[in-house]
Amino acid sequence: MIRTENLTKVYNGKAAVDGLDLEVGEGEIFGFLGPNGAGKSTTILMLTGMIEPTGGRCFVDGIEVANDPLSVKKIIGYLPEDVGFYGNMTGEQNLDYFARFYGMDAKARKERIAELLELVHLDGVAQKAGEYSRGMKQRLGLAQALINDPKVLFLDEPTANLDPEGVREYRELVEHLAGEGKTVFVSSHILSEVRVVCRTVGLLAKGKLAAQGTLEEVARALAPADGDAVRIVVETREHLPAIEDPAVIDIERNGNRAVVRAKADIRDRLSAALFEQGLHVREMRLEEPEIEDVFMAAYRR
């Protein structure tokens, strides 16, 4: 549904997005991760037809965005970071103004706006958008992004201004939209948020795509290279005896607990050997780096 080919954007001689190749399938909830300034928002601006790439191409539903931005805008919804509205108009009036660009007649607009305001819990709010709290603006932003019932939804830092209840509702909404077959592209620098709602992720660092796939795949791809070694955590009820296996590289001991660094996953052999010695194994697992740590390390690189 979304595809970029060598997508590049240069500002003042510096590449904000540098040769990005990305693919997001239909109906996916894709998390676009990266630290601030990595080029996430610039990528979204190019994907939504709001700025033109310096090089490369991007496609949404097979339409090349730079060639036909208006057709793309008709099938997408976009919630910008720090979304803004016309302060002198109510939420309903703001939505009505935007809805007119889609050629919707008065009845269709009225029905759609009522439906969306109810969805984001802003129905019955008579105050002007200029008097809205940041959370209310964010919710109105979601409504304006959905005004045309889009096929693809781009959300830039969608939970930035939401309270916990708002975040919960946002998650339910995204799940609901994905259930309808919509593709959701969520840009965020908050890993914990992305891992809750997204099925696949891409990590952008310094304008380049560092990794793409499921969270586990990306974490594995980004994990620091340690040869082919695996780390096995072992804990027994009794004092841990010496472990002799040709695959073992080294062992860090701590009483009845140890972290075994081995050339391969030798948990089957290890558990059998301990069992033969009459030991009771309390824990035996592969130690994998925390995803947060992996991403943090990737952010810092």
Q: Which residues pair with 256 in a beta bridge?
A: none
Q: How far is the CB of 113 from other proteins (least distance, A)?
A: 14
Q: Which residues pair with 9 in a beta bridge?
A: 17
Token match 């919509």: residue?
182
CA gap 28, 172 in Å, rounded: 15
Binding site for other proteins (CB under 8 A): 11, 41-42, 45, 48, 50-51, 70, 73-74, 76-78, 80, 82-88, 97-98, 100-103, 141, 144-145, 147-148
Q: How far is the CB of 178 from other proteins (least distance, A)?
A: 21
What's the N-to-C CA distance of the chain in angstroms?
A: 30
What's the token pair of residue 142?
């979601």
Hey, how many other C-beta atoms are within 10 angstroms of the C-beta on 12?
A: 5
What's the token pair of residue 227?
């040869």
Identify the CA nearest to 210 among candidates 54, 59, 38: 38
Give whichever of 8 and 42 is closer to other proteins, judged by the CB atom. Answer: 42
Give whichever of 79 and 274 is closer to other proteins, judged by the CB atom. Answer: 79
Is the Cβ–Cβ distance between 77 and 142 less than 8 Å?
no
Token match 């301990």: residue?
274
CA dihedral for 196, 202, 203, 207, sign (positive or negative): negative
Q: Is 209 left (phi over 0), alpha (psi -120 to 50) or beta?
A: beta
Q: How far is the CB of 95 from other proteins (least distance, A)?
A: 11
Q: How far is the CB of 37 from other proteins (least distance, A)?
A: 11
* 3-state DSSP assignment of residue 134: helix
For residue 108, what are the contacts with CB-CB under 8 A and spacing of at least 6?
Answer: none
